[in-house]
A = this chain, B = another copy of it.
Amino acid sequence: MSSEKIPVAILGATGSVGQRFIQLLENHPWFVVKEVAASEKSAGKIYKEAVNWTQATPIPNKVANLTMKNCEPNLNSKLAFSGLDSSIAGEVETVFASEGYSVVSNSKNHRMDNDVPLLVPEINPEHLELIKKQKYTKGCIVTNPNCSAIGLVLALKPLVDTFGLEQVNVVTMQGLSGAGYPGVSSLDIIDNVIPFISGEEVKMENEPLKILGSLKGNSIKNLDLKISAQCNRVAVMDGHTECVQVKLKKKTSVEEIKKVWENFSAEPQKLNLPSAPEKPIHYFEEVNYPQPRIHRNIDKGMAVAIGRLREDSLFDYKFVIISHNTIRGAAGGAILCAELMKAKGMLG
18 residue pairs A–B, Cβ–Cβ below 8 Å: A54-B187, A167-B314, A176-B190, A182-B182, A183-B186, A184-B186, A185-B186, A187-B237, A190-B237, A191-B235, A191-B236, A192-B294, A193-B241, A193-B292, A196-B288, A228-B312, A230-B318, A230-B320
Give how many copies assemble into the complex: 4
Q: Known: A54-B187, A185-B181, A187-B183. Contact between A232 and B294, CB under 8 A?
A: no
In this assembly, does A254 line the interface, its C-beta being within 8 Å of a C-beta of chain B? Answer: no
The one of B56, B183, B235, B297 in contact with A294, judged by C-beta atoms closer than 8 angstroms, is B56
Residues of B within 8 A of A288 (CB): 194-196
- Assuming A186-B186, A294-B56, is B205 touching A169 (CB within 8 A)? no
Q: Which residue of B lies closest to A189 (CB)?
A: B186
Q: How many angstroms from the CA of A54 to the CA of B187 in the assembled complex?
A: 9
Q: Are B228 and A245 in contact (CB under 8 A)?
A: yes
A32 to B196, CA, bound (A): 36
| B171 x A230 contact (CB < 8 A) | yes
- Whether A177 sits at the interface, judged by CB under 8 Å, is yes
A-to-B contact residues, CB < 8 Å = 54, 56, 167, 169, 171, 173, 176-177, 181-196, 205, 226-228, 230, 232, 234-237, 241, 243, 245, 287-294, 297, 307-308, 312-315, 318, 320
Chain B residue at smallest Cβ distance from A173: B193
In the complex, which residue of chain B has the Cβ closest to the Cβ of A181? B187
Given A226-B313, A230-B243, 16 other A-B residues pairs in contact with their CB atoms under 8 A: A169-B169, A169-B245, A181-B187, A184-B187, A190-B235, A190-B237, A191-B237, A191-B292, A193-B291, A195-B289, A195-B291, A196-B287, A205-B313, A228-B313, A228-B314, A235-B236
**Given the complex of chains A and B, what is the CA–CA distance between A56 and B167 in angstroms?**
34
Contact of A191 among B173, B191, B312 (CB under 8 A): B191
Question: Which residues of B are found within 8 Å of A190, using beta-carbon distances?
Answer: 176, 186, 189-191, 235, 237
User: Is there an interface contact between B235 and A234, defined as CB atoms closer than 8 Å?
Assistant: yes
